[in-house]
């Protein structure tokens, strides 16, 4: 039997998703809890391997098991064995051809920027803090033209192991909610640190250190060394992953209060 789970986590105290010996990771916590419920070793595969400090509103994983448990048992039983900074939001039995990474149609990330004269306390480690006001309209204008398929070498980290730097972005949007500026980026897949690098360059425009045309110039130039800094993991969230309807995950997501 193959089971898919939607998982939420606060990444501040983790060394990332992927298992690393001697380091606390989301994968190790999930596999420990699930193996306890299944009474057998469980190995999970994620939709994406988030880095240290990155959060997830909805990471999707799948695993295979011979254990017969209800979806409620997989959710509630696993949660009873997980630490408070990780939670299974929903569980769903899926066909054997479902794959959390390869079956995904779209991934969406959000990067949160808090604009405030004083540093945050309750949101420390969950947002990027900007003491000074940013030019939101210039930042919005800078995103025009980045949707579609492009070579994103200018926003690709040096350690990226992908064979191609071409990616398709379906949506780039900037919204303002109170003192927060939220960058939303959706696409088929992402390069290593791509969203954090994009956010770092966008911040330079918001600070009026670069023109609103700069992102398009960087995209055309394909030179990472000319782009802005990599922003910290604090503000980055794996927000949503979409799959073909035939896998039947939408009902589970709605029932779990995931918008």
Q: What residues are annotated to the active site?
A: 51
Please give the Cα distance from 144 to 126 (Å, whole number). 27
At 26, which helix (H) or strand (E)? helix 26-38
Contact 242, 105 (CB under 8 A): yes
Tell me the HSE value of 222 on the side-chain side, using a 13 A CA sphere.
6
Nearest-CA neighbor of 112 among 24, 38, 37, 177?
Answer: 177
- Please state at what angle helix 214-221 crosses helix 136-143, rounded to 10 degrees: 30
User: What gap in Å lies between CA 259 and CA 257, rounded to an integer?
Assistant: 6
Instruction: Give the SS3 label for residue 89.
Output: strand
> In whole angstroms, what is the distance from residue 198 CA to residue 173 CA?
12
- Report residue 67 as tokens: 């254990």
Name the DSSP letter for residue 194.
H
Spatial separation of the C-alpha atoms in residues 94 and 187, rounded to whole Å? 23
């Amino acid at each position: 039997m193959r089971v898919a789970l939607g998982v939420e986590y606060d990444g501040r105290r983790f060394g990332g998703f992927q298992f690393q010996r001697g380091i606390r990771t989301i994968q190790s916590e999930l596999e420990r809890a699930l193996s306890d419920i299944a009474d057998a070793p469980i190995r999970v595969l994620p939709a994406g391997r988030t880095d240290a400090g990155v959060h997830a509103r909805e990471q999707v994983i799948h695993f295979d098991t011979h254990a017969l448990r209800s979806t409620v048992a997989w959710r509630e039983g696993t949660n009873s064995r997980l630490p408070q900074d990780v939670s299974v939001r929903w569980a769903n039995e899926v066909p054997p051809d479902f794959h959390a990474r390869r079956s995904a149609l779209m991934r969406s990330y959000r990067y949160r920027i808090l604009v405030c004269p004083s540093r945050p306390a309750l949101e420390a480690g969950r947002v990027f803090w900007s003491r000074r006001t940013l030019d939101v309209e210039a930042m919005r204008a800078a995103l025009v033209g980045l949707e579609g398929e492009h070579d994103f070498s200018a926003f690709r980290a040096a350690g990226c192991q992908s064979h191609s730097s071409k990616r398709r972005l379906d949506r780039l949007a900037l919204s303002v909610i109170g003192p927060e500026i939220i960058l939303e980026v959706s696409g088929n897949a992402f390069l290593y640190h791509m969203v954090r690098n994009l956010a770092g360059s966008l911040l330079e425009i918001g600070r009026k250190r670069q023109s609103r045309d700069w992102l398009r110039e960087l995209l055309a130039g394909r030179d990472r060394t000319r782009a802005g800094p990599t922003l910290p993991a604090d503000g980055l969230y794996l927000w949503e992953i979409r799959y073909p309807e035939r896998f039947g995950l939408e009902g589970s997501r709605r029932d779990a209060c995931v918008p």
